Amino acid sequence: MGVTDPAGPVMDRDEVDRALARLGQEHEAIETSLLALQDHAGRRLLEGAELTGVTQERWQATETRITLLWSYFDAYTAALRGAREIRARRRWASREDLAELTELLRGTSVAVPGSPSGRLSESFSLAELVDRMNDLYATSLDLVVTADAVWSALPARIDLLAAELQRTRQLAHSVGVRPGEHPAGDDLERITRTLTRLREDVIRDPLAFWVPAQGSSAPGGGRPDTRVYDREARALEDVRREIDAVLTVRQDAEARLIRLRDVLSRADRTLAEARTARGEVLAKIAATEVPVVSGPPTVLQEQLATAAEYRRAAQWHRLSPLLESLEQKAEDELLRAREQLTAVTAPLAVRAELRGRLDAYKAKVARHGLAEDPFLVERYDAARRMLWSAPCDLRVAEGAVLRYQRAAAELLDTAPEDREGGRR
């Protein structure tokens, strides 16, 4: 839209003709802009929508502006048509014609009925009328373009996210992730409600979802406000990751259950071995306190049965945390069973160590030719009877082994010299 030159003195014929030509071009440009506004998709949507909030309030004011804009344009058209008729009266315009045309083209001679000021009519110059139309057009176009930009961006993105949400809900249902049974199922319900409400709000009040650009005067300067949409998109991505974790559980659940059964079976066998070993220790070792061996982990077996039932019922969302807990508990149980076996068999290990030490010293003294020494033979036989008899008193047997070691050590300290003197 153009701007008409300010008023001046009486115009000559050439000035009038140039002004009429310029005004004609402005009229054509204004008409094209108004028709484009009239046919704008955003305006048609605004007219047909059930608006609320700030959009309803601003659209009502904009409709009034558009009506006034057309009134101004009609008055502008009538004034231009009148000026053209005056100029067409004569080929060579008279002084009176030029004065009348100057008043019409530059003076405040254009009356517009029903002005915003409340008066029945208001007079403008053509330049003032064009300025008013420019302002009304820019304000009206800004609202139309803004609403159209929001409607073009957000609902389509919300629909795409809703479609992805529906696919995720179906997948979640297939693995047992349902509202009230799993947090991810509750999140899906909340996201669904939020997106439904968001779409309704965007359709009814698009201007509430617009962030104007700082310092921009262009119509529609800014961007749609996608903060709520972005937050729900991130929440849906988190839910998808949770469901992927549940799917992973479904894929390797059987292998994990087999490993769990194996670990618990090994723990049971270790405890059984410990109980057998305890009986052996009590029969073979005297004066020794042997710890009691606990029974099999029935609670873990019950939980394992529950995990297997979850797998049969495809309740993957419940199976996932149970498997993680069971795997840690089963490893702890196996470690505990091994510790009990070690504690129970400790006396047997001590007896074996004493036997090994006794035989090692016997072999040592035999290498030095002292195996037949009567004193050592007596000490050896005493220690051996204690270690190979049942029940074995470890404290007494350890003392016998120590006496044999001391006797052997004393003979070994002197035996080399005796043997060397005999050889000489």
Q: Work out the pLDDT band at 213, boundaries 50, 70, 90.
A: confident
Give, for 391, the enclosing helix (H) or strand (E): none
pLDDT the model gives residue 178:
81
pLDDT the model gives residue 185:
87
pLDDT the model gives residue 19:
86
pLDDT the model gives residue 421:
40
Average pLDDT over residues 358-386: 83
Average pLDDT over residues 102-126: 76
Chain centre distance of CA 44:
39
* Contact between 145 and 219 (Cβ < 8 Å): yes
What sign for the dihedral angle of Cα 123, 127, 132, 137? positive
Average pLDDT over residues 207-218: 79
* Contact between 209 and 154 (Cβ < 8 Å): yes
Report DSSP letters for 64-126, one per residue. HHHHHHHHHHHHHHHHHHHHHHHHTS-SS--HHHHHHHHHHHHSS-EEEES-TTSSSEEEE-H
Name the residue type at position 241.
Answer: R
Q: Give percent of the chain with pLDDT exceeding 70.
A: 92
266-286 pLDDT, tens per residue?
999 998 988 888 888 888 887
pLDDT the model gives residue 105:
83
Residue 361: name the closest of 346, 350, 374, 377 by CA: 377
* Contact between 415 and 423 (Cβ < 8 Å): no
Average pLDDT over residues 222-233: 93
For residue 4, the 8-state DSSP code is P
Distance CA 156, CA 177 (A): 28
Residue 263: both structure tokens together: 């670990």
Residue 253: name the closest of 265, 261, 264 by CA: 261
Residue 7: name the closest of 135, 101, 136 by CA: 101
Distance CA 172, CA 178 (A): 7
Phi-psi category of residue 7: left, alpha or beta, with phi > 0 → left and psi -120 to 50 → alpha = beta
Average pLDDT over residues 174-188: 83
- Give me the phi and psi of 393, to 5 degrees please: -90, 105
For residue 6, the 8-state DSSP code is P
Distance CA 97, CA 416 (A): 155
Distance CA 264, CA 22 (A): 97
Distance CA 115, CA 316 (A): 71
Residue 393: both structure tokens together: 């008193």
pLDDT the model gives residue 15:
84
Angle between helices 227-284 and 298-312 (to 10 degrees): 140
More confident residue, 420 or 373: 373
pLDDT the model gives residue 2:
38
294-329 pLDDT, tens per residue?
877 788 988 999 988 888 877 777 888 888 899 999
Q: Work out the pLDDT band at 416, boundaries 50, 70, 90.
A: low
pLDDT the model gives residue 201:
95
On the question of pLDDT at 288 being above 60, the answer is yes
pLDDT the model gives residue 118:
56
pLDDT the model gives residue 9:
82
Q: Which of these ranges, 65-74, 246-255, 283-292, 394-403, has the smallest mean pLDDT?
A: 283-292
1-17 pLDDT, tens per residue?
433 344 458 888 788 88
Residue 251: name the closest of 262, 243, 263 by CA: 243
Mean pLDDT of the chain: 84
pLDDT the model gives residue 215:
63
pTM (two decimals): 0.59
Average pLDDT over residues 168-187: 85
